[in-house]
Amino acid sequence: MSTLVERTWATLAPLTDPEIPVVSLRELGILREVAETADGVEVVITPTYTGCPAMGQIEDDVKACLAQAGISARVVTRLAPAWTTDWMSDTAKEKLRAYGIAPPGATRPAESVVQFVRRRPPPDEVACPRCGSIHTVVSSQFGSTACKALYKCLDCQEPFDYFKPY
C-alpha cells in the first residue's frame, strides 16, 4: 500500500482532542480516512457534537501537523455516518477512565426517541473512575462540555465527568 498514506497516519498519531489530551483523534473516531490524491493526501474528519468548539482547533491541528511533516493535505469534514461514542476503542475508554472521566456506555440505536425521553432517570450504570463504585448519581446532564454529564460518587464522594453515549 501507499507509504504516503501510512506516513500520514503515523504523523497524525500523536494528535489528541484539545479537551481530552490523553486520547488520540484516531482512538476517538474523529479521524476517519486517509487517501492518496494526485497532489498529496485527503484526510477525512467527522465532527463530534455539532457545536463542539474543539472541532476548529482539531482541523487546524491536522493541517499544521501535516504541513510541518511536508505532507500536502486537504482536510474534508464528513457528517455521515454520524459520529458515535461506540467508535471509541476499548483502549481509548480505558485511557479516559485513568484520566478521571467515566467512559461512555453503549448507545441503544434500536431505542425509539420516545422511549429515550421517557427513560428517567437514565438507567446507565456509571462506575466512579476513582474507586470503581457504581453507587453514583447524576448531578447535571451537562458537565464541563456538552459531551459530558456531571456525576458524583456516593462512596468516595468524588465528583466526576461521564462521557455520555452519543
Partner 1 sequence: MNAPVDYLLHLADNAVVLGQRNAEWCGHGPILEEDIALANVSLDHIGQARLLYQLAAARMGGGASEDSLAYFRDETAFRNYTLLELPHHGPLVGYAASDRDYAVTIVRNFFYGALMVLVWDALTRSADADLAAIAAKSLKEARYHLHHAADWVVRLGDGTDESHARAQAAVDHLFRYTEEFWLPSPAETEAVASGIGVDVVSLRAAWDALVDETLAEATLSRPAVRGYVPEGKLGRHSEHLGYLLGEMQGLARAHPGATW
Residues shown for the chain: 166
Contact partner at residue 131 from partner 1, Zn ion, none, CB < 5 to 8 Å by partner kind = Zn ion
Residue 128 near which of Zn ion, partner 1, none (CB within 5-8 Å, type-dependent): Zn ion
Task: Say how far apart CA 150 and CA 144 lie, in whole Å.
Answer: 8
Q: Name the residue nearer to partner 1 (CB basis): 12 or 103.
A: 103
Stretch 47-86: interaction string toward partner 1, x if CB under 8 A: x-xxxxx-------------------------xxxxxx--
Instruction: Kindly state whether residue 14 participates in binding partner 1, applying the rule CB under 8 A.
Output: no
Question: What is the C-alpha to C-alpha distance for residues 74 and 39, in angstroms, rounded to an integer?
Answer: 10
Which secondary-structure segment (H or E) carries 61? helix 54-68
Choice between 41 and 58, CB closer to partner 1? 58
User: Max alpha carbon distance in the chain (Å)?
Assistant: 58
C-alpha cell at 128: 466512579
